[in-house]
Amino acid sequence: MGMKEDSVPIPQPPPSLFRGNLGDIDPSNMPESSWALAETYGEIFKLQIAGRSIVMCNSYETVNDTFDWDRFEKPIMGVFVELRSLLGDGLFTSRSDEKAWGVAHRILMPVFGPMGIRKMWDGMMDIISQLVLRWDRLGPQNEILCSDDFTRLAFDVIGLCAFGYRFNNFYREGTHPFVNQMTDVLVESGKRSNRLSLENKLRIFSAQKNQANVKAMHDLCDEILEERIKNPQPNSTDLLNTLLYSKDPQTGETMSRENVRFNMCTFLVAGHETTGGTLGFLFYHLLKNPEKYMKAMQEVDEVVGEGPFTVDHLPKLVYVKYAIYEALRFMGPIALNHKHALKPTLIAGKYYVEPSDLIMLNLKSFMHDPKVWGPDANEYRPERFLNGGYENLPPNAFKAFGDGPRACIGRAFAEQEMIMAVTVILQNFQVEMADASYNLWVQPTLTIKPGDFRIKVRRRPGRNPASSLGAQCAPIIHEDKGKTSKDNAPVIYEAKPLTVLYGSNSGTCKSYAEEIQSDSPRYGFKATIGTLDSATENIPRDQPVVLIAPSYEGKPADNAKKFCQWLENAATSEQLKDVSYAVFGAGNSDWAQTFHRVPKLIDENFEKLGAVRFSNTGFVDVKYDVVGPWETWKDAMFRDIRKASGTTTAISGEEIQVEVTAPKFVSHLGGSQIGYGVVKVNKDLGGGEVGLSKKHMEVELPPGSTYRSGDYFVVLPFNNIGTVKRILRRFNLSAADEIIVKGTRKAFLSTDTPISVFDLLMTRAELGTPASQKQIQIIADHAPEETRHKLSALMQNDTFEREVAGKRMTVLDILEDNLDAALPFAKYLNMLKPLTPRQYSVSSSPLANSAVVQSADGTPTQKLTLSITYDIHEKPSLSGHGEFCGTASTFLARQEPGEKLRCFIRPTNVNFHLPMDPSLPIIMICAGSGLAPMRGFIQERAVIKANRNTALGPALLYFGCRDHQRDFIYSDELKKWEKDGIISLRPCFSQCGPDGAGKGPKYVPDRIWEEREELSKLFSGGAKIFVCGSAKKLGKSAADVCKKIWLEQHKDKGVGEKEAEEWLESVKEDRYVSDTFE
């Protein structure tokens, strides 16, 4: 048989009759489309687009084979053909057989060697200094758009080091016209490459603008060349002398003037895009992984210290170099490369391709192949390159700079520039994300870069960029934003300063910090609030510091990770001597092993490092009462801080004011829809007869959204309309009344213009929070004597715990029980907390729920949907006041298809994702709606099995419910997946199974124990365990049974519960991952 007949078929998405696979890709974002298809089809797949066959290689085995230049070459096509109007036969866009490419390549190779690049040190440092000094002048509150400033940096470095020309992008409000012209040409070239030739001919004005931009850029290059020819600089270390005067060692020719111009443009286009994008990706990863950030900073401190940074330091900055390599491996600016076969051949010895096939190399998937990079390939870990890791990689495994004769000629230039820039930034600044909740999305142009990624920088203690860089810097002037108050809150100019630092994901701890800021003027203080990360190496010593931190299953909030890492790395010395501090911690007692771990860690480390506590540490268990313990601690903290600081000013009262006016008819036009998902399906799953009703919702996500199975869908709900109506009745208000709130610093209550009372109550505040003792006291202060005595009795600790906290009585409940309490509406509003988003585990996989569709303007766009599975919390209220309605669940239950939700995706903080290698076994343990993420995993495995030439590892699903007929949700779907070999289904029914009541194990842990031998073998074979359900029920019982199995296996080794707990903790990051809830 022939080569083709003996080959393995290449998987392909089913093509349509006329459009082929055009509907499977988004032409405006080919990288993301390719990554998604690779997740589905594995190491290779093909597409039929516009009559051409495209073969996408995704694995190390397939991509590596195409690096054989005797069988494959890089064609110049698509956008590269369009760019020839600007770049001509420069190195980037010329064919390998063009004479100009060979001449330029041979002339320039020696200049880009290590010694040639070192000569450019001073020029690179000149531009890096401009960046750093600019950041320093603008101050710590300035938001830096990475794609903008790193592009300016890379562009100016090339201009100065290559051509001796200063574009001065750091001295302009905007960028140099050349940058804008170049951007326009890149965008237009991309569009032209995706249009039909007839359409390009008809777009006359676009073509004219493109030609004008190209001419303007060529004119500037010609001016630079003429200036150098008229005024020679024989001692210059830039590239321009080489471009103009050096001779090709093979032919003896110099480069033509036109080719010099083309290569000048080539260096600017190719160099600035890749370097700027890489630096953006690098700082994203460092800030998302604070322990890596600290290692890089520690190396800079050890190698360079506070003094001048010299060229001799470069070889010693090993971790910084490999942090950059790891960013390039994880997701570099070049997403796709392309090749074609010189003659018919087999890729990886099995997949047949013809010379007419376009072979695309998916570099992200290639450099995430777990067979080369291990099961942690989806983690950012520079350590993988250390201690011979880089040298011992398989051939061609790291290809961030291209391959063969067409590899990036400026690699050494870019590496030196990036190492220098990162080192100087880390030497002088603490860097933080402007928005700690930012999740990476890519912005595709000729390359890819982080979309709208912004950072802030703060000068490190004792560091002076002007001094270390040998430059002069104007004094930093930071705007004091506390002098005026938009919300008309009282400002006390003689107040003593107070710093409040918080970590927060859900918003609770942030609201605590804002409360202190709002209350502090009454006690004689002026509080400034900030995230914990913003205080890394920046703890004030001249004022008290309050630290408010949650603990999420023992982990810090996103905007506190770097701070906590810094504390843990800090030397055991008096590093925080003279710091006066207090700590308040939030946590959930369902996670008993890690309850309040983070605030306790902060408290202990502050004390260890020499700080002095001015008030006792406080804690709140958010499972029960988020208000009472907080208010008690806050009052004590203010008493202690006044005493410690000698503050004697009188404590003033609060003056929150509310104006209610008659409604005005105002029509509003809708704004941007970004951030809004559209409900597509909202259907019942049953379960109400034996427990909570359950529903399945499908949502089309906002454009640009991405998710992975195992992530969270976060929704900001509206309050229950029945509760809002109760409030309106209690305060004798109309839903149409309008309100203006003044005299408060609570951002969620502040109103610039009147809004309706109904809208404020529906959309801004939590209405179901249990009342605190302090709030009951405020109600009592506005009640007659008889009622006051009754409320005083309710505040007694035992009674409060039993009747208020135990029955979750709200302020509204107490007001309805005491109608003669004349609490003003303003006081009631001031008791409320901000409405916080709720998160739900995603119950789908993006591999099964993504499509490319035509948008309203006719352009292709990706449509991504997800599903969630949720319980509806409706039951008689324990307080006796009607129905208890869960804010988010009842809100979701009311949504109809077509309605919009305020929503976003939150990646899981733990390793709650399927193994990269689908052949590894998995064990899924869940109950009730905890099935949600497991359904996403199973759906993903089904897609992989249907589309890849690969076998799936065993997957066991232990699912607990009550009744096989009433709440065995998704049963038909699960049974079909079992029949198809996707899972082995292990249901447990606590009330009634298919064989009747009392037959078989009733609970999941019991069945796990019965089948422990099978599970032990799977775990020994690399299985990963996933747990999702109630923390205090399934979460605890699943952990207990796993420890019990481990103890049985190790019964001859004299181990006990302590060792079993230590074993479980040791595998929780990787092999045993849980997503539990209240």
Q: Which residues are annotated as a binding site for heme?
A: 408
Q: What's the CA angle centered on 342, arms 341 and 347, to 5 degrees?
A: 35
Phi and psi for 926 in degrees, rounded to 5?
-155, 170
- Single out the residue of 397, 377, 366 nearest to residue 43, CA to CA: 366
Q: What is the CA radius of gyration of the chain?
A: 32
Q: What is the four-CA torsion angle of 511, 513, 518, 524, rounded to 10 degrees?
A: 160
CA distances from 297 to 132, 301, 336, 388, 419 (A): 16, 6, 32, 22, 12
Pairing of strands 900-906, 676-686: antiparallel
Q: What is the four-CA torsion angle of 395, 396, 398, 404, rounded to 10 degrees?
A: 140
Q: Which amino acid is at 194?
A: N
Cα separation, 944 vs 825, whole angstroms: 57
Residues 6+ apart with CB under 8 A from 60: 366, 369, 371, 372, 394, 397
Question: With 0-12 CB in 10 A as exposed, 13-18 as middle and 19+ as buried, what is 668?
Answer: exposed
Number of neighbours of residue 594 by Cβ within 10 angstroms? 17
Cα separation, 776 vs 793, whole angstroms: 10
* CA–centroid distance for 672 within its chain: 22
Token output for 601: 């860690």
Contact between 966 and 684 under an 8 Å Cβ cutoff? The reply is no
Residues 6+ apart with CB under 8 A from 173: none
What residue numbers does the annotated binding site cover? Answer: 408
Q: What's the CA angle centered on 343, arms 337 and 346, to 5 degrees?
A: 75
- Single out the residue of 546, 529, 645 nearest to residue 603, CA to CA: 546
Pairing of strands 738-742, 755-756: antiparallel
Residues 6+ apart with CB under 8 A from 388: none
Residues 6+ apart with CB under 8 A from 132: 424, 425, 428, 429, 465, 469
Residues 6+ apart with CB under 8 A from 559: 432, 433, 436, 437, 503, 504, 531, 532, 533
Strands (E), 308-404: 336-341, 345-347, 351-353, 358-362
Cα separation, 190 vs 444, whole angstroms: 10
DSSP 970-1031: THHHHHHHHHTTS-EEEEEEEEEBTTBTT-S-SSHHHHHHHTHHHHHHHHHTT-EEEEEEEI
Cα separation, 199 vs 1071, whole angstroms: 55
In the numeric block, the tokens 């970004």 are attached to: 674
Cα separation, 704 vs 443, whole angstroms: 10
Contact between 821 and 829 under an 8 Å Cβ cutoff? The reply is no
Residue 4's SS3 state is helix
Q: Which amino acid is at 747?
A: A
Residue 552's SS3 state is strand
Residue 300's SS3 state is helix
Cα separation, 717 vs 739, whole angstroms: 21
